[in-house]
Structure 1
Amino acid sequence: MTKSQIGTTSPVGEQCPRFRGAAVFGAALSLALAVCPLFAHAAEGPRSNAKPITEVRQPAPTQAPAVVAKAAPEARPAAPAADWRSLVSEAGRRVDIDRASIKKDETGKTVAWGRIVLDKEVPDPRSSAAYKVVQAYNRYDCANRTFATLRRSFLRGDGEVLREEEVKAAAELPVRSGSIEDRLLREICRPQTPGEVRREAERAAGRVLEVASFDLQKANEAVVAKETKKAVKKVATSEEAVAPARAAPADPAAALEARMAKAPAPRTTAAPRRVVAREHEVHWDYEGPGGPENWGKLKPEFAQCAKGTRQSPIDLRDSIVVDQEPIQFQYEQAPFRIVDNGHTVQVTPQGNNFITVMGRTYRLTQFHFHRPSEERINGRDFDMVAHLVHQSADGRLAVVAVLLERGEANPTIQTLWNNLPLEKQDEFQPSTASLDPASLLPKDRRYLAYMGSLTTPPCTEGVLWLVIRQPAQLSADQIGIFSRLYRNNARPVQPGNGRLIKESR
């Protein structure tokens, strides 16, 4: 794809929504990010894992779109009227949720329709027309904070449906705190009916009672222990004073037990409810009980962190040197958002930022930092690394890793540090600062490529890694600032398991 197809002068480049993405470490993406790359992908032809369902030339129904049947249509009850509610509005675009479509599926997960509404129509080469609305049918796992896109529809401004498609292999992607996906998830997963509200309140009350019972039990145990200790001391003292000639019990506690055996049994109260380990859930981290060696045990959905065979990071050695095509970077200067999400500093650039590599185009969703570098090259690690996370229209992930070593001050990183929020999870968008992600890249952009995984839970595999061979520089002071926040937030190197590593000549 050429720059004119996705650059700032094309209709696609002008209309692609500027929504922030998730940390896929971290890489989880909302409806806004899941459909945004479609604008760039439309010029590339059909996708590998999404199949067209139909193309029609009739007005769209007022309700949320239904699945187009592959066989003869059957009579079905009318769907409820759509109830579109605006969630996010920015210049040139808006994200809505159809609250009437929110429901549980047969697995207990929540499904809902969402849409992006653009100010201007965008040409669609696949239908020789133009669309203004992209609707997506998503499935949300509220408990595990993941989502997957199941279907998409493209509509004209007058409501005419141009094209619908079904995603055959829907990928479950994680949702990062503070992202647009997080806002969608919280809106869709909040209780919808009075019954759900009541059940949620009962669950919350149950958790409070469990904690209260646990606290009461611990308090009672402390009082009993204190009184027992005082009684033992009193028994020992009195027996010595009253009957010095009589042999004292070998153990003062035995005397207390003898007295208690003669005394009437004390009144008992109902035993407090036993507290389950759920309230002490361990969250993933880089050290302690939630450290990398335990990630696979923390949750069932994290199992791949321990059992996967194509995990990242790895020590990049024994590569084959070949003539790889260069990565085509189409980045631009634009505003950005920055957040300390509790695991790293994450930056979400706005604007239209893409890479094209190995015949596929990916949109930049966010980038973040690790110290020290997670990747190694022939056993050598680096002071830090920046991971630029990209996603294609069909949900595939590509991460560009820019190694960072001590040297000259980096103006772009200084801009980021200047705008660090004071509190974790408090996302900040500077009113006067902007950045071009290309300014993070070194001049020599030859790279090593391999297939791996996310380096944070759930450690999803199938990620294309593009590690720039030449490191960029940042100053000792800039390294020190990040170290104040995160002394070590790097996953240890994982087994290579014979994976092929290609290196640019």
Structure 2
Amino acid sequence: MHPHSRIIVTALIALAPSVAPAAWQVISSEPGKRIEIDRSSITRDERGRTVALGRIILEKPIIDPKTSSAYRIVQALSSYDCAARSYSTLKRSYFKEEGQLLREDEVKVQVDMPVRSGMLDDKLLREVCRPKAGGEAALAARRTADRVNEASGELRKANEALLQNDVRRANLQTPPQAAEKPEGESRRPQPAGPAASTAPMPRPVRQAPLARAEPGADAPRAGRAQPVVRPEPAGSARPARSAHWSYEGETAPEHWGSLKPEYALCASGMRQSPIDIRDGFRVDLEPIQFRYRPSEFRVVDNGHTVQVEVGGSSISLLGKSYDLVQFHFHRPAEERVDGKTFDMVAHLVHRSEDGRLAVVAILLEKGMEHPLIQTVWNNLPLEKGEYVMPPGLSIDLAQLLPAERSYYTYMGSLTTPPCSEGVLWLVLRQPQQISAEQLAIFARLYRHNARPIQPGFGRMIKESR
């Protein structure tokens, strides 16, 4: 080869973009599976979202129903919205073993799924959205360190001032010879000298550590000295820690309002739910516009009910749009209609852009098996608080809607703490059927998870005529 040609080829190789090898990092390791992320794959797309490659490595292979072959690795290319804390899956790849591709699936309908704090998706989101080391990150770290040092200095000064005040009070209030003696022991004269006139020094106040900001916790502001917590006098009663709410016993619905200050509306609210729907105005209500479409889903037993999170669906009413966030179940149905009770109810929770809630209630009564509910039951998690998100499976909430969609409507509240009011309730008049076996499955998980009927207080109720 000509020397000049060899130089040109060498230069082209040097300038050609190289494909970075995968840099898999373990995010979570559990019995039977390992979750990893490829840090070298993290990029930004044209919309400003973060795209990254993650995978699940199973200890034992499972059979792929589409190919009848076994796979052990599921790899997913996902798009993350770091600000909104949501993600959508772009593509899934199934591998028999490392490097042995079985099949790939492009996700045609990409739906943003919310990320819940403390769950595996939250770990992935934090890794994907973690800023890379650089000038801006280093500058931010220095600024944070300066604020912490400033706060620590002010806290130290505050502690020293409190210590000096304690010393002054001890010198003024404690007689020189007033050393504590056990009961029944006679007082002996103290020897003269400097030691006799020296008051015992109080124990120094330990400097409180700077609190860490945890999700949901009230973290102290940087740069402000926090008050020192002094030891409580012996025998003083500390307030009992607030108990979590439930449907029976000391934390049952009749006690919700006293469990925590933020639950006060559960006892004092004038627009609480559920209610016995009766004596409504029969008028021409605007039809609810349901824009439900198939989407991925994930199921969780949150300790109060079975809840299913979905995305990509919405309703419209009176010119306002509400996105479907999740749906869950109660047994028996919390609502009554003219005093009539129902076996169960599904509550479909929607939220508008301004944060207002609209709940569509679908009453359920014993009859034929419902396929959508069976899909949910098929994917129940084995443990409370754990999520099941079946790969390659979607759910269409339109299947849960009755053919006749007239409804009752009124303004109410959440039926669980904190019982927030201002919720638009839309109770579909025609019940849907659920089989006795499906009812029995939910009853084994939750025998009773319904809030009792609340006073109407003269609220207006309207119904389709």
Smaller-chain TM-score bracket: 0.5 to 0.7
Identical aligned pairs, as a percentage? 53
Between the two structures, name the one with larger relative contact order (CA 8 Å, sep ≥ 6).
1
Give the C-alpha shift of residue 85 in structure 1. 10
What is aligned with 2:252?
291
SS in 1 for 2:399: helix
SS in 1 for 2:463: strand
What is aligned with 1:382?
342
RMSD: 3.8
What is aligned with 2:414?
454
1:500 aligns with 2:460: yes
Is the contact between residue 336 and residue 435 of structure 1 (CA under 8 Å) also seen in structure 2?
Answer: yes
> Of residues 363, 377, 402 in structure 2, which corresponds to 1:442?
402
1:345 aligns with 2:306: yes
1:363 aligns with 2:323: yes
Counterpart code for 1:294:
H
Q: Give CA-to-partner distance per residue, 1:329-385, whole Å, 9 cap, x none.
A: 0111121000000000000113x1010112211000000000000000000110000
Q: Give CA-to-partner distance per residue, 1:50-95, whole Å, 9 cap, x none.
A: xxxxxxxxxxxxxxxxxxxxxxxxxxxxxxxxxx999999967423
What is aligned with 2:370?
410
C-alpha change, 1:117 and 1:414, in structure 2 (3 Å) is closer
What is aligned with 1:94?
80
Report the structure, 1 or 2, having the larger helix content: 1
What is aligned with 1:318?
279
What is aligned with 2:289?
328
What is aligned with 1:278?
240
Is the contact between residue 86 and residue 95 of structure 1 (CA under 8 Å) also seen in structure 2?
Answer: no
1:125-274 superposed matches below 5 A: 198-200=209-211
Task: Please give the alpha-carbon distance, in whole angstroms, between the structure 2 residues aligned to 1:378 and 1:336.
Answer: 35
Counterpart code for 1:330:
R
Give the C-alpha shift of residue 459 in structure 1. 0.5
Q: Give CA-to-partner distance per residue, 1:275-326, whole Å, 9 cap, x none.
A: 73435x3111111111100111011111011110000000000011111111
Q: Give CA-to-partner distance per residue, 1:402-427, whole Å, 9 cap, x none.
A: 00000000011011001000000001
SS in 2 for 1:456: coil
Is the contact between residue 86 and residue 96 of structure 1 (CA under 8 Å) also seen in structure 2?
Answer: no
Counterpart code for 2:209:
R
1:463 aligns with 2:423: yes
SS in 2 for 1:278: coil
Task: Please give the alpha-carbon distance, in whole angstroms, between the structure 1 residues aligned to 2:464 and 2:53.
Answer: 42
1:55-70 superposed matches below 5 A: none
Give the C-alpha shift of residue 452 in structure 1. 0.3
Structure 2: state its 5+ residue gaps: 1-48, 55-75, 90-115, 131-143, 153-206, 213-232
Is the contact between residue 52 and residue 78 of structure 2 (CA under 8 Å) also seen in structure 1?
Answer: no
Structure 1: state its 5+ residue gaps: 1-83, 98-113, 120-174, 202-270
Normalised to the residue count of structure 2, the TM-score between the two structures is: 0.54
Is the contact between residue 448 and residue 502 of structure 1 (CA under 8 Å) also seen in structure 2?
Answer: yes
Counterpart code for 2:399:
S
Give the C-alpha shift of residue 465 in structure 1. 0.1
Counterpart code for 1:490:
A
SS in 2 for 1:465: strand
What is aligned with 2:446?
486
Task: Please give the alpha-carbon distance, in whole angstroms, between the structure 1 residues aligned to 2:262 and 2:434.
Answer: 37
Task: Please give the alpha-carbon distance, in whole angstroms, between the structure 1 residues aligned to 2:77 and 2:377.
Answer: 27
Is the contact between residue 85 and residue 125 of structure 2 (CA under 8 Å) also seen in structure 1?
Answer: no
Task: Please give the alpha-carbon distance, in whole angstroms, between the structure 1 residues aligned to 2:284 and 2:303.
Answer: 40
Task: Please give the alpha-carbon distance, in whole angstroms, between the structure 2 residues aligned to 1:435 and 1:476.
Answer: 22
Is the contact between residue 87 and residue 96 of structure 1 (CA under 8 Å) also seen in structure 2?
Answer: no
Normalised to the residue count of structure 1, the TM-score between the two structures is: 0.50
SS in 2 for 1:477: helix
> Of residues 359, 364, 372 in structure 2, which corresponds to 1:399?
359
Task: Please give the alpha-carbon distance, in whole angstroms, between the structure 1 residues aligned to 2:355 and 2:307.
Answer: 20
SS in 2 for 1:470: coil
What is aligned with 2:383?
423
